[in-house]
């Protein structure tokens, strides 16, 4: 298995994988294979006897990423590694030790912070709308992950929330904490704080945890918050066997408490730390990487990405300006339609934007063009009513004996529910339902030979539980935040204008720099082609300052004919895009 763990790695990846004793910091740029490095490093450690699987904790930030890590380790023949999110690891420790320490069952977890806040507001005579409650909830989350008291929060956030001054916000937070304690509940952030408090206060507990886990790996270390960093320190104690992996240029959650300084200062905090830089990008064309490098030039911790191999650069990324948002949406839809007509799989195309509100125009334009689209972060696939209905029907059919093969049975059941051989011509709900059912048929077609219908439906239920969703043959629409960690061959990044990217409320240097990193994340999602666009809109927007910073060396103006086809129907004609030194200033 050692050969398998080390096979196919480049020189820098090999260095990271074979450096089995910490402290190690892997600075991994976009598309450089960081998940491969993490899992192969653990596998190599287990194979050589340096690690015992049950004593390894691999921490990441989403349940999906943790599941992918477990899957890759399984493929490498490694079982028993604890691959979890910070919250899942902390909750498991609380649930294990709480009954012994407190002589009672652990507190329950708040399932809806906004609802509980509404009850707390009622208790002190406040009548607040949902938007205000959500903003207060975000403030509570930020306060806790940055390890501040309510008074410290009030001092740091002097502006208040909406029409509430900061003293009233503090009163509401106190009422929320009081109600939560009365109900014996913990919220999501309390789990981390309570686990850290338990480890600090109980020597026997921290001793047991440190005895259990000897080797730590932390992915996406640029997104670590102060409370997560404190928890990691408590898990480690005075030991040094920790490997952290991250990219400061992809820090896009500072507003939620993430602090890239933990990554940037790791070498200083950990004497003798080994630093490995991964800068060979295996995802994107060299022309796309040139844009990414220009955008991040000179920023703290920025890596210089280089394309793998000696392949000639592909088409230079384009930038197109439009008179209005509708014209931009139709121009983008026309470009996507032409690409699909040329044989590109819709699953390899994405439209990215800064905020959810921008999805409305592009979704309408794609539907008008007969192109099916899926909004990332929308309803989960296995929660779609047509999918739930289909699984129930398939489960029912699995009871009756049949001589037909799996694919034929699944096709017959889905046809009875409305699946046709060809998709509906128009976009919208009918097309979305067709795509959802067609994805189930593709899963049946991809199942191993001899799979029974019962085994197939068992697998569907397991997939639903693990959020392992099939890829729909649709164009993806996504915010830049939701797109992080994903990739597509062809990316359209719309709304590249002042007020949208950077967003209007980003006024400080730090806030604008976070917007820059968001743009960088969007750009580095693209593998083959990248098309940027902006529109003047009703407020006479200007092109984003980031376009000027990237400059004309890495971008070209899209040919008018490439975008007029989609814009001319309703008058959204393209405009020339300023380059360095012009009106983009």
Q: Residue 146: how many CB atoms within 10 A of its CB?
A: 18
d(CA 367, CA 320): 22
d(CA 95, CA 91): 6
Question: Which helix (H) or strand (E) segment is 278 a member of?
Answer: strand 274-278
d(CA 115, CA 31): 40
Residue 347: Cβ-neighbour burial (10 angstroms; 0-12, 13-18, 19+):
middle
Q: Which residues contact 357 (CB under 8 A, 6 or more apart)?
A: none
Q: Of 525, 568, 496, 492, whose CA–CA distance to 321 is shortest? A: 496
Helix crossing, 560-567 with 325-341: angle to 10°? 110
Phi, psi of 530 (to 5 degrees): -135, 125
d(CA 574, CA 494): 13
CA 553 to chain centre: 30
Q: Which two tokens stand for residue 577?
A: 């895009």
Q: Is 28 annotated as a binding residue?
A: yes
**β-pairing verdict for 274-278 and 242-246:** unpaired
Q: Is 35 annotated as a binding residue?
A: yes
- Concatenating the DSSP letter of every residue in 15-50 gives HHHH--SS-EEEEE-TTS-HHHHHHHHHHHHHHTTS
Q: Which two tokens stand for residue 255?
A: 């507003």
Q: Is 34 annotated as a binding residue?
A: yes
Evaluate whether 439 touches 347 at the Cβ level (below 8 Å).
no
d(CA 362, CA 494): 9
- Whether residue 23 is preceded by a cis peptide bond, meaning omega within 30 degrees of 0, is yes
Phi, psi of 537 (to 5 degrees): 65, -175
Q: Is 29 annotated as a binding residue?
A: yes
> Angle at CA 323, nearest 5°, toward 291 and 525?
25
d(CA 455, CA 472): 22
CA 562 to chain centre: 31
Q: Which two tokens stand for residue 72?
A: 């890759």
d(CA 485, CA 454): 34
Q: Is 30 annotated as a binding residue?
A: yes
Please give the DSSP secondary-structure letter assigned to residue 107.
P
Q: Is 4 annotated as a binding residue?
A: no
d(CA 470, CA 281): 26
Binding residues: 28-35
Residue ranges at the known binding site for ATP: 28-35
């Amino acid at each position: 298995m050692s050969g398998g763990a080390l096979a196919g790695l480049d020189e820098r990846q090999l260095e990271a994988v074979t450096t089995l004793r910490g402290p190690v910091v892997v600075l991994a740029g976009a598309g450089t294979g960081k998940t491969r490095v993490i899992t192969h490093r653990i596998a190599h450690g287990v194979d050589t006897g340096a690690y015992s699987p049950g004593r390894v904790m691999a921490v990441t930030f989403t349940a999906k990423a943790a599941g992918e890590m477990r899957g890759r380790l399984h493929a490498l023949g490694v079982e028993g590694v604890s691959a979890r999110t910070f919250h899942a690891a902390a909750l498991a420790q609380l649930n294990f030790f709480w009954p012994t320490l407190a002589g009672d069952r652990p507190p329950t977890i708040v399932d809806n912070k906004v609802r509980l806040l509404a009850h707390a507001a009622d208790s002190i005579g406040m009548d607040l709308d949902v938007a205000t409650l959500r903003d207060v909830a975000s403030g509570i989350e930020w306060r806790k992950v940055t390890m501040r008291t309510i008074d410290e929060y009030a001092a740091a956030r002097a502006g208040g929330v909406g029409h509430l001054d900061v003293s009233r916000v503090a009163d509401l937070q106190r009422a929320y904490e009081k109600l939560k304690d009365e109900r014996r509940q913990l919220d999501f952030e309390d789990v981390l704080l309570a686990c850290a408090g338990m480890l600090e206060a109980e020597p026997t507990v921290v001793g047991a945890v440190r005895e259990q886990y000897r080797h730590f790996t932390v992915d996406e270390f640029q997104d670590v918050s102060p409370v997560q960093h404190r928890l990691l320190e408590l898990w480690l104690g005075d030991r040094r066997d920790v490997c952290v992996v991250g990219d400061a240029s992809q820090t896009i959650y500072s507003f939620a408490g993430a602090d890239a300084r933990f990554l940037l200062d790791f070498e200083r905090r950990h004497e003798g730390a080994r630093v490995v830089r991964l800068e060979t990008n295996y995802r994107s064309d060299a022309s796309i990487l040139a844009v990414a490098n220009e955008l991040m030039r000179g920023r703290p911790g920025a890596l210089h990405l280089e394309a793998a191999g000696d392949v000639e650069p592909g088409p230079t990324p384009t930038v197109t300006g439009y008179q209005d948002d509708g014209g931009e949406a139709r121009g983008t839809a026309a470009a996507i339609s032409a690409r699909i007509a040329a044989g590109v799989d819709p699953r390899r195309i994405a439209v990215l934007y800064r905020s959810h509100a921008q999805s409305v125009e592009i979704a309408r334009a794609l539907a008008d063009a007969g192109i099916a689209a899926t909004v990332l972060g929308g309803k989960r696939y296995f929660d779609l009513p047509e999918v739930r209905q289909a699984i129930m029907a398939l489960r029912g059919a699995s009871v009756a004996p049949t001589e037909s093969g799996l694919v034929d049975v699944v096709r017959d059941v889905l046809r009875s529910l409305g699946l046709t051989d060809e998709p509906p011509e128009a976009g919208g709900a009918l097309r979305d339902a067709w795509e959802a059912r067609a994805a189930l048929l593709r899963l049946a077609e991809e199942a191993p030979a001899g799979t029974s219908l019962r085994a197939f439906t068992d697998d569907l239920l397991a997939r639903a539980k693990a959020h392992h969703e099939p890829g729909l043959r649709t164009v993806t629409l996504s915010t830049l935040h939701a797109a992080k960690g994903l990739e597509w061959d062809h990316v359209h990044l719309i709304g590249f204008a002042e007020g949208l990217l950077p967003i209007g409320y980003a006024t400080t240097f730090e806030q604008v720099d976070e917007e820059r990193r968001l743009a960088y994340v969007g750009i580095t999602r693209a593998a083959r082609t990248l098309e940027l666009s902006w529109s003047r809109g009703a407020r006479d927007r200007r092109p984003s300052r980031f376009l000027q910073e990237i400059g004309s060396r890495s971008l070209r103006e899209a040919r008018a004919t490439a975008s007029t086809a989609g814009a001319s129907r309703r008058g959204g004609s393209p405009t020339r895009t300023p380059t360095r030194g012009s009106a983009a200033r």
